[in-house]
Amino acid sequence: MKNFNRCLIASLLLVSAHTAMADDWGGIERYAKANSELALPAKGEHRVVFLGNSITEGWYRDHPGFFNSNNYIGRGISGHTSYQFLVRFREDVINLKPEIVIINAGTNDCAENTRPFDLEMTFGNIKSMVELAQANGIKVILSSVLPSEKFGWNKNVTDAADRIAALNAKIKEYAKEKKLPYVDYYSAMVSGPERKLNPAYTNDGVHPTPAGYDVMESIVKPVIDKTIKKK
């Protein structure tokens, strides 16, 4: 009987945990405490928020010095799509009063983490985030989706490289049209006719290693610095 009760309690706790995760589909609670403890920017402070998925989350985990020494704030959540970015955009970007937000969205849209891939809807979500940022006086830097030929967690997607290329083309053209800075990680990290993430920069074909983040940092920091100086 005692074993049965223990199993029942464990099962209830597991169900409760899954329910809590489902209730926070948008990930608003992920950084709620950190956001509440973050003071408003000081006078002359150039606050920068990196909004992203596991690539951004892993970036801060592997290279915290890059963020801390430059006053950058990482707001990446593993598995998130552009739909979820929109849900938490106020909490994780607008309310933090940054000077700049860098939006890196699309990998998990292409992988169909939340719904079937729709190029126009994903692109529309990115445009909505740009408009929200600009309406709140926040400068926007758009970035390319990193290359990948497949997603290990969704083998049903067989055209990952094509999806990423199509989305990047739209983001790049939109950035040009709206005169927004564009960070092209893709060109520096793509490899071979398969258009995969260069094996020198990844262990799983999707997420960068510390060496991959070195490359990304060398590309994005000059763009940030130039955007800060531009009035």
pLDDT tens digit string along 197-213? 999 999 999 999 999 99
Q: Could you tell me if residue 42 is left (phi over 0), alpha (psi between -120 and 50 degrees) or otherwise beta? A: beta
The pair of structure tokens assigned to 198 is 């260069």
* 38-42, 124-128, 161-165, 169-173: segment of lowest average pLDDT: 38-42
Rounded to whole angstroms, the Cα distance separating 33 from 119 reads 34
- Taking a C-beta distance cutoff of 8 angstroms, is the pair 185, 144 a contact? yes
Q: What is the mean pLDDT of residues 178-195?
A: 98
Say yes or no to pLDDT of 20 above 60. no
- Taking a C-beta distance cutoff of 8 angstroms, is the pair 32, 182 a contact? no
DSSP element (H, E) containing 203? none
- Residue 229 confidence class, pLDDT cut points 50, 70, 90: confident
Distances (CA, A) of 83 to 13, 121, 123, 150, 197: 28, 9, 10, 21, 24
Distance, C-alpha 84 to centroid of its chain: 10
The predicted structure's pLDDT at residue 93: 98
In three-state secondary structure terms, 210 is helix
- Residue 231 confidence class, pLDDT cut points 50, 70, 90: low
Q: What is the mean pLDDT of residues 140-150?
A: 98
Q: Residue 101 pairs with which residues in a beta bridge?
A: 49, 140
Place of tokens 């992920």: 30
The residue with greater pLDDT, 231 or 9, is 231
The predicted structure's pLDDT at residue 11: 38
pTM of the model: 0.89
pLDDT tens digit string along 103-135? 999 999 999 999 999 999 999 999 999 999 999
The predicted structure's pLDDT at residue 22: 61
Q: What is the mean pLDDT of residues 194-198?
A: 98
Mean pLDDT for all residues in the chain: 92
Report which DSSP code applies to 180.
-
pLDDT tens digit string along 56-84? 999 999 999 999 999 999 999 999 999 99
The predicted structure's pLDDT at residue 125: 98
Q: What is the mean pLDDT of residues 90-108?
A: 98
Rounded to whole angstroms, the Cα distance separating 55 from 175 reads 21
